[in-house]
Amino acid sequence: MFSLPSVAGEHPEGEVVENPIVLEGVNAVDFDRFLSILYPLDFTTWEFNSLRELAMQHLFVITSAVERIALGRRYDIPGWLVPAYAEVCERKEPLTLAEGRLLGLEDTVCIGQVRHTIHYTSNLNRHHDSIIALVRDIFLPP
């Protein structure tokens, strides 16, 4: 395409609208999605916020709460943390050794504190909003 010599009297492929570059096996919708990542309309110079948002949307769906905590901490995604901590604290299963290693000592101990409070404090309202408040108190102290 780019290195091939052009035929006399014809414009090379992609040089004019009348002779576009044809991408075999690629449909318009997929190509549009590809271009929206490369050339987002809402990015600020060099920050690529829309690409980050797209990655976050897809990662949120395929990750566990523990993985969202680890990713949220590593890549500064604070909106993931409290809901993910609450999800881990409310679940019936204990943390696995692998999850504890992924989270680190501090988070693992704090999750244990919240879980202990949920299960052994008789006056605690176990409604989700109360657990969110407890998570905020333990993980986001003033």
Is residue 2 in some structural domain?
no
Number of domains in the chain: 1
Range of the domain at 118: 28-139
The predicted-structure confidence for 17-29, as pLDDT tens digits, reads as follows 777 777 788 887 8
Amino acid at 13: E
pLDDT for 44: 44
Question: Does any domain span residue 126?
Answer: yes
Question: Would you say residue 22 lies in a domain?
Answer: no
The model carries a pTM of 0.63
